[in-house]
Amino acid sequence: MANKETAKVHKNSQDIINQLSVILRNAQVHDPNNVAVITAIEKFLSLINPLIESERSLTLELIGEFFYLDGTRIRYMLEYLLNFDFLVREFKKREIGTIIFKDIIKSDDIKKFLKAFIVAGFSDTPYEKVSEGVEESRSIEIHRLKKIKEGEEADVRKVIKKTYFKAVSYTKGVMKKIKSGEKINIKKAKRIVETMVDHILEEEQLLLSMTAIKNYDDYTYHHSVNVSVLSVALGQRLGLSKKALTELGIMALFHDIGKIEIPQEVLNKPTSFNDDEWKLIRKHPIWGVKAILKLKGFDDTTIRASIVAFEHHMNYDFSGYPPTKKYKELDFYSRIVTLSDQYDAMTSSRVYSRIPIPPDKALSIMMERSGTQLDPLLLKFFINMVGVFPIGSLVMLNTKELGIVYESDVVFVDRPRVLIIIDNKGKRVQGSVVSLTEKDEKGNYLRTIEKTLDPTKYKINLAEYLL
Amino acid sequence: MELSEDIKEAKDILQNLIKAKKTIRMYPSNNPIYMKTIEESYEKVNSFLAYKDKLALNIRHNSILYDSEQIYYNTEKEDNLALFFFKDGLREITFKKGLTLEELEEFLKIMAMDFDREEIEDDIVTLLWEKDFQNIQYVVDEAVLIDADEEDYEAKAEEEAMEEASDPEGLMKAYTDASEGEALTSMSIMPITDKDLKMLVREVERISFYDIEKLSIILFETLYQSEEKGDIEDTFILLKEAVKCYMKHGYIQMVVNTMKKAKEILEDPLFSEDIKKYMRMLLLYAGSEEIIGPVAEFLDSGVDTEESVFIDFVELLDKNAITPMVKHLGDLKTIHSRKNFIEALVILGKKDIQTLARGLEDHRWFVVRNIIYILRKIGDKRAIEYLLRTIRHGDIRVRKEAIKAIGELGGREVIQSLKECLDDRDVQVRIASAKALGKLGSDVAKRIILDKISDKKFGERDFDEKKEFYEVLSRWKDEDISNFLVKTLKKRTFFGRLRNYENRACAAFSLGLLGNKDVLSLLYKYKNSGNKLLREYAYSAIKRIEYGK
């Protein structure tokens, strides 16, 4: 019963965001008195007024990349994705962080707000413009977009780091136990992935940044966790439920479990594999199937996890391995895990390619594989998730500052937050994080990425900056 | 309100929740007691939350605290609420203002779960997490998830990652290199379109459905790539589990496909004898109790089964499936499932009559009767030897079925037994024996029936029984019988006239069945007989001969 009730609340919240987006879109092309705009406003009012009536007010807040309605985060819903993104972008553009609706709202209140909102879009001081426009209104109040305090961010980072390493340590324990024939506890895997899912929902970028560090000795375990994090993050973008995200996370965590059968000296070999070694490597999907199916009885989780382990190197066009006859379609989860796996493997120095590829180059390679090795549709979402310049990319800005991509921006995929490590005078600095979405008073972007470089080539240890 | 009052109230709430947990275990959710308990608990928590923003319960190993005061203590291992929460890592549970009745009910349902006895896949933290309560929060200690020897993993890994500091020269070189050369000309932004979203929605809609049949496909691929005997055996064990899993879910078609694949391997000269050996074992496994048990359960569950798929499955089974099938035949609850099993045994029984016939020793009469029916349907004369043992069965229904079967299967060896059965104490058995002899159609059988009918004592039998015997006689459409019947029809006696009329009516009836037109004039003679019975049967016989009615 609780589930139904909660789902209803979420649905209402999503409808409100969606409807506000529809109003703004319509108002940008039509007069406020146009039927399309008026109809959209009326629908919006029918959604918010009952809530205002019972709660006396309604607060819509943009924090990071997510909207919160009266303090509760509104989840993404696939159908509304474009409208959500549009609204985030428009709010950010005008630096609006909060709108508080007080008392029962009338159509005219919304029209006034719309007018101010649209005019502000062309202003050099957009927030002030909107603020001015709604000043007289007693029913609508706005507040400026808050920046996340650095101290708070550091605390969250600590928690997320703990979760990440806990996941790696668990994976290490699982693989060791499987190898020695000990029983393992899948319930624990579920708990760990659940925590990861929570972090992805709340602090996606921070957890993603953990996956950008690759110089650990226990590569296989880190890789498994990275693939799990990347897969859950992608799943979140695709609008999967929390339960489905957990499933996906577990399957991704176990996708490479077959590697326990590969001798460590082969796995950690500093040079490229010879034919025999490749033969061994190519067997790990099959070994993975066996290992997973032996974990506990056959159930939906183990069966589907074994399918994912088997398929994650098969490729979208079945050109990969293991070779099979009469295979119809790859599992949805397998196609997600394949993307995450390829990306993490390419950007690491331990598997397949001995030389790590810079994240943005890895994405270019992946784009070349779109429709052949990789699912073209999911790849689009993947690139939008990690950003055109993924976390860990070494970038030169047009301001002659050198930085490392610190977080991606959900809306502006080519305008991430960057940690400056060398300033415009060529001096090393204890970097501050800047957002490339920031503009000057004329509306021009303050900073733009001009060039990307390979951090490995210059012996830059990303852990120093991202951990 | 004084602090002590709060604590008293929190204690009371906790006791109430414990009581509610027991009630929930005992009653179904539509029971009035269940509903009343939930409402009462909700009222208590809610009245507390009316003046406090939250009710935070601190969980320790053996105790629960509210506001640093112990409100629950228990050192027992069983039925210890503190330990119940503590063992999975729960350290604090908070009910917040705004708690709904539904949320509390769901929470209590989780509390009421018996993790020791029920097959619950998840621990309490996962169950709470999945509910995604808005007004029940909890704090978890995740140290329980990590093995003791990995506790300092984070520090070690971090140290390791930081080991090689960035090269200052490299950094500066990067800056210099980047300052030179050309800037990026294009960036690959891949905008998501409405069409993409529509496609994705379609994909996500079917996310919970995955192709479970891939399991066996993958396992066969694994088998093909097995190089060592141990690998083959490993995969064989998993294939067995896959078959079991499919059958548990009622995916008979998938079992069929798996078995067909195994058969293909057996017929393919390219596969090694090792693999073939395990495929034979896999096919045998499909007929074992471990699989037939779930088949019986599934068929009994009433879920629609495509009959042709079930028959395909049976046709792939070996004779080892007979014994478990016979065993379950007696336990099946629905006519539909029994019918399916009987059909299956008709197919399988042909492979091993002897094993099937062991079912005749079952203590349940209906199982014995079913087996007799199956043996009759199989039509293998080798079954006679077993069937003959059942004609003395304590249950009439079994004896009747046995005689019927014997009659159909024929053979000289059955005649004596059938002859004896003509004197059985039960009329139905006697009739069945007569019919069985009729089915045999031999001269000896004819003689036996004629002798029996001619016997003085036979005349004393009920009309219906006699009629059945005379009907059997009509099976031999020869002069012998015709003469005998004419003689009987004409026969007059002074004593026992009533019985004699019955015999004559039977003879008329039988002549009608014989269809010989030569006897029409005789039958017309009795059409107007003073005896009603004879009159009626003579008339019917005429009609049958003249009009085929």
Split at pLDDT 50, 70, 90, the class of A351 is low
Span A38-53, pLDDT tens digits:
888 999 999 888 888 8
Write down the number of H helices and E strands in chain B.
28, 5
Q: Is the pLDDT of residue A2 over 50?
A: no
Other beta carbons within 10 angstroms of residue A296's beta carbon come to: 15
Q: Is A78 on the interface with B (CB under 8 A)?
A: yes
Going through A202-327 in order, the beta strands assigned E by DSSP cover none
pLDDT, averaged in runs of 10, over chain B (549 residues): 75 91 88 90 92 90 89 87 89 91 92 76 88 89 75 81 81 87 63 87 85 91 89 94 94 95 95 94 96 93 87 95 94 92 95 93 93 94 89 89 87 84 89 90 91 88 93 90 91 81 93 89 88 92 84
Q: What is the DSSP string of B343-357?
A: HHHHHHHTT-HHHHH
Alpha carbon distance A343, A352 (integer Å): 12
Name the H helices within B139-228: 153-162, 168-179, 194-205, 214-224
Q: Is the dihedral of CA B527, B532, B536, B541 positive or negative?
A: negative
**Which structure tokens are listed for B266?**
């057996």
Interface check for B194 against chain A (CB to CB < 8 A): the answer is: yes
Which tokens is B91 given?
């350290």
- State the pLDDT at residue B397: 92
Given an 8 Å threshold on Cβ–Cβ distance, is B102 in contact with A2? yes
Flag if A166 and B146 touch (Cβ within 8 Å).
yes
Q: Residue B102, Cβ neighbours under 10 Å: how many? A: 17
pLDDT value of position A109: 87
Report the chain A residue with the minimal C-alpha distance to residue B223.
A286
A81 CB neighbours in chain B (<8 A) are: 192, 197
Quick one: tokens of B250? 């009622």
- Residue of A79, A294, A461 with shortest CB distance to B166: A461
What span, in angstroms and rounded, lies between the C-alpha atoms of B145 and B158? 20
Burial class (CB in 10 A: 0-12, 13-18, 19+), B360: buried
Share of chain A above pLDDT 90, in %: 30
The whole-angstrom separation of Cα B259 and Cα B317 is 9
Which of A 409-428 lie inside 8 A of B, CB atoms? 413-414, 421-422, 426, 428
Among B125, B145, B224, B246, the residue to mutate for chain A (most A Cβ within 10 A): B145
- For B122, phi then psi, to 5°, come to -115, 160
- B333 contact partners, CB below 8 Å, separation of at least 6: B300
How much is the pLDDT for A7?
55
- Return d(Cα A327, Cα A337) in angstroms, integer: 18
Give the H/E segment covering residue B367: helix B365-378
Q: Which two tokens stand for residue B354?
A: 């002897």
pLDDT value, residue A151: 55
Tell me how close the Cα of B135 comes to any Cα of chain A, in angstroms: 11
Specify whether the CB–CB gap between A123 and A129 falls below 8 A.
yes
For residue A304, the chain B residues in CB contact (below 8 A) are 210
Looking only at the bridges linking them, the beta strands covering A66-69 and A57-63 are antiparallel
Q: DSSP characters for A61-114?
A: EEETTEEEETTEEPPP-GGGHHHHHHHHHHHHHTTEEEEEEES---HHHHHHHH
Measure B122 CA to nearest chain A CA, in Å: 6
Report pLDDT for A10.
Answer: 61
Instruction: Please give the order of strands across the beta sheet that includes B69-73.
Output: B69-73, B63-66, B54-59, B90-96, B136-140
| Selected residues 327-346 of chain B with any CB under 8 Å from a CB in chain A | none
More confident site: B208 or A315 = A315
Interface of A with B in 320-349 (CB under 8 A): 322, 324, 326-329, 331-333
Q: How many CB atoms lie within 10 A of CB A275?
A: 7
pLDDT score recorded for residue B106: 93
From CA A459, how far away is CA A445, in angstroms rounded?
30
Q: Which residues contact B205 (CB under 8 A, 6 or more apart)?
A: none
Contacts A403 to B, Cβ<8 Å? none
Entry pTM = 0.79
| Contact at CB, B145 and A170, closer than 8 angstroms | yes
Question: Measured between CB atoms, does B139 come within 8 Å of chain A?
Answer: no
Residue A90 pLDDT > 80: yes
Nearest-by-Cβ selection for A191 from B125, B179, B197: B125
* Chain B nearest C-alpha distance from A72 (Å): 9
Residue with tokens 């609340």: A9
Question: Which residues are registered as beta bridge partners of A66?
Answer: A63
Alpha-carbon A29 to chain mean position: 31
Inter-chain CB proximity B214 and A72 less than 8 Å:
no
Cα–Cα dist B264/B284, whole Å: 15
Chain B nearest C-alpha distance from A55 (Å): 12
Q: How many Cα neighbours within 13 Å face the side chain of A188?
A: 22
Do the Cβ atoms of B317 and B348 come closer than 8 Å? yes
> Pseudo-torsion of CA B399, B403, B406, B408, nearest 10°?
-130
- pLDDT tens figures, A392-441: 999 999 999 999 999 888 778 889 999 999 999 989 888 788 999 888 87
User: Using omega within 30 degrees of 0 as the cis cutoff, is the peptide bond preceding A322 cis?
Assistant: yes
Once rounded to an integer, what is the mean pLDDT over residues A329-335? 95
Asked if the Cβ–Cβ distance from A290 to B222 is below 8 Å, we say yes
Subunit contact B242:A332, Cβ cutoff 8 A = no
**In terms of residues, how long is chain B?**
549
Q: How far apart (Å, rounded) are the C-alpha atoms in residues A226 and A239?
A: 20
Q: Please give the Cα distance from A211 to A23 (Å, whole number).
A: 39
Burial B14-40 (b: 16+ CB within 10 A, else e): bebbeebbebbeeeeeeeeebeebbee
Report the gap between the CA of B396 and the closest CA in chain A (Å): 48
Q: Which residues on chain B are in Cβ contact (under 8 Å) with A294? A: 238
The verdict on B270 touching A (C-beta cutoff 8 Å) is no
pLDDT, position B343? 94
Handedness of CA B58, B63, B68, B71 (dihedral sign): positive
pLDDT of residue B441: 87
pLDDT for res B286: 96
Nearest to B3 by CA among B73, B66, B91: B66
Nearest to A307 among B105, B162, B214 (CB): B214
**Packing angle, helices A332-346 and A242-253, rounded to 10:** 50
User: Which residues of A fall within a CB distance of 8 Å from B183?
Assistant: 398, 450-451
Q: Is A156 on the interface with B (CB under 8 A)?
A: no
Burial A385-409 (b: 16+ CB within 10 A, else e): bbbbbbbbbbbbbeeebbbbbbbbb
- Interface contact B148, partner A, CB < 8 A: no
The region of weakest confidence among A447-451, A458-462, B282-286 is A458-462
Handedness of CA B441, B443, B448, B452 (dihedral sign): positive
CA dihedral B436, B439, B442, B447 (to 10 degrees): 50
Answer whether B217 sits within 8 Å of A327, measured CB to CB.
yes
In whole angstroms, give the CA distance from residue B372 to residue B386: 9
Looking at residue B1, what is its pLDDT? 46
Query: What pLDDT, on the 0 to 100 scale, is given for residue B497?
Result: 80
User: Residues of A with CB below 8 A from B125's CB?
Assistant: 191, 194
Measured distance CA(A61)–CA(A70) in Å, rounded: 8
* Nearest-CB residue to A458 (from B134, B162, B170): B170
A70 touches chain B (CB under 8 A): no
Encoded tokens for B410: 């024929």
Q: In the predicted model, what is the mean pLDDT of chain A?
A: 86
Segment A235-262, tens digit of pLDDT: 998 988 888 999 999 999 999 999 999 9
Query: A137 pLDDT exceeds 90?
Result: no
